Amino acid sequence: MAALPNETLTTIFDELSPSSLAAVARVSTRFNAVAERLLYSSIYITDILTESSPLPWKTIWWCKAMRRRVHLIDTAKKLHIRWQADPDAPPPPAQYILQTCEELSEILRALTPIESIDLFLGPANIVLHNYRLQSPGYDLIHHEPPMHAIERVIRGCQFSQLRSCTLGADSAKGVQPYTGVLISFLASLPRLRHLRLSDSGHYSQMNVHSTLDELPADALPLLCSFRGSPDAAASLLPGRPVQYLSLIGQDSDVNRDNLPRMTRTAVPLRCLDLSAMSARPMLLRNVSTYLPTVESLRVKLALRHTLHYSFSGIWSIPARPASVFYVFNYITQTHPAIREPIERQRRPKQPCGLNISVSIDIHIHIQSQ
């Protein structure tokens, strides 16, 4: 293999797993040069922050490695970094989390060729917000306005080739919201096609919505899919060619105020994913009213129905939500638990008064007439 050209070695090594690539990189200097470029082209890091290991060490080590390997910066295409805190562990030290965010930001600003980025910083925003509140002279020392932990990492980044972007962190009531830094970042992504704003927490989703209202109308001209809260979608979708929408939160967050705004996309909305929330029939009725162009619907039904004495009564649980689907133009595929009650009439049963909760995952394809 030593006589093979680098292009052939790259094709061969590209089929190897990361662990195998790491082993190949130790065989020879030439193999190392080829394998290393493949290893650093796609980075997937998950840091679990525990009491014994409260810092995102894998992220820190990767940042140090990139400083030593500046020749690999132009190979970076995908970067996925996720921090997850152990709920039983004390908060990680804020000073080191702040320092890690700054180090990560420094590396990201150099990764201009990157095409996909996924950043979920776990407890970082909560930790830094509490640290700022507990340090009266923080703003004077750091000489900067308050900002979200994610914004500390992405500020100043210019990713002209970025096509997929996922941003998020844990949230709580009253913590630092997103600011204009996020808006400036999104406005600088001319080729972005897929965007996920996956901050966990109701209050964080509200903050994202109010921030996105400031996004220029000509920003994100190629955006075709979005995942986020209903209010964020209502702010982002108008005027943009979004065809795939995935909503997070509670079904009560989808209402008659934000649904009409979601219809103002530049092209018809075709795919709607509601599987991240427990949907009730009223939500499906509203969706069918305001989003008639939807052709593919993914939904998780969580309904309270009456359990009858007879076993056949259990199968009648989804009979009522089945009627909701009549409002769609035409159903070509659905879950058997929904389809069967449609295909045959059932006699009403006498309820015994026992209520249960039902959760059904359904993927529906709808064909417009």
Given a cut of 60, is residue 114 above it in pLDDT? yes
Given a cut of 60, is residue 341 above it in pLDDT? no
Between 338 and 16, residue with greater pLDDT:
16
User: Phi/psi at 101 (nearest 5 deg)?
Assistant: -60, -40
DSSP secondary structure letters along 115-155: -EEEEE-TTHHHHHHHHHHH-TTHHHHHTS----HHHHHHT
Percentage, residues of the chain above pLDDT 70:
76
User: Phi/psi at 337 (nearest 5 deg)?
Assistant: -65, -20
If you compute the radius of gyration of the chain from its CA atoms, what whole number of angstroms results?
25
Given a cut of 50, is residue 367 above it in pLDDT? no
Per-residue confidence (pLDDT) for residue 311, from 0 to 100: 35
Per-residue confidence (pLDDT) for residue 80, from 0 to 100: 98
Residue 99 CB: number of other CB atoms within 10 A? 13
Q: Which residue has the tokens 């970076």?
A: 76
Per-residue confidence (pLDDT) for residue 139, from 0 to 100: 60
Per-residue confidence (pLDDT) for residue 138, from 0 to 100: 63
Q: What is the mean pLDDT of the chain?
A: 81
> How far is CA 240 from each of CA 126, 194, 353, rounded to the nearest angstrom?
32, 12, 49
Mean pLDDT of 174-181: 91
Q: Which helix (H) or strand (E) holds 162?
A: none
Rounded CA-CA distance 246/228 in Å is 7
Counting Cβ atoms within 10 Å, is residue 233 exposed (0-12), middle (13-18) or buried (19+)? buried
Rounded CA-CA distance 306/7 in Å is 65
Between 116 and 10, residue with greater pLDDT:
116
Q: Which residue has the tokens 């093979």?
A: 4
Mean pLDDT of 327-355: 43
Mean pLDDT of 246-256: 90
Cβ neighbours of residue 294 closer than 8 Å, sequence gap 6 or more: 269, 270, 271, 272, 287, 328, 366
Per-residue confidence (pLDDT) for residue 32, from 0 to 100: 82
Given a cut of 90, is residue 150 above it in pLDDT? yes
Q: What angle do CA 36, 122, 144 make, to 5 degrees?
A: 95
Rounded CA-CA distance 331/296 in Å is 10
User: Structural domains in the chain?
Assistant: 1-39 (1.20.1280), 44-221 (no CATH)
Per-residue confidence (pLDDT) for residue 25, from 0 to 100: 80
Q: Which residue has the tokens 């913590």?
A: 175
* Mean pLDDT lowest among 87-96, 139-148, 294-303: 139-148
Between 192 and 35, residue with greater pLDDT:
192
Contact between 351 and 306 under an 8 Å Cβ cutoff? The reply is yes
User: Phi/psi at 284 (nearest 5 deg)?
Assistant: -65, -35
* Model confidence pLDDT, tens digit, residues 69-94: 999 999 999 999 999 999 999 999 99
Q: How does residue 312 score in pLDDT terms, banded at 50, 70 and 90?
A: very low
* Model confidence pLDDT, tens digit, residues 198-249: 875 555 555 676 789 899 999 999 999 999 999 999 999 999 999 999 999 8
* Mean pLDDT lowest among 218-222, 276-280, 361-365: 361-365
Q: How does residue 365 score in pLDDT terms, banded at 50, 70 and 90?
A: low
Q: Record the pTM.
A: 0.81
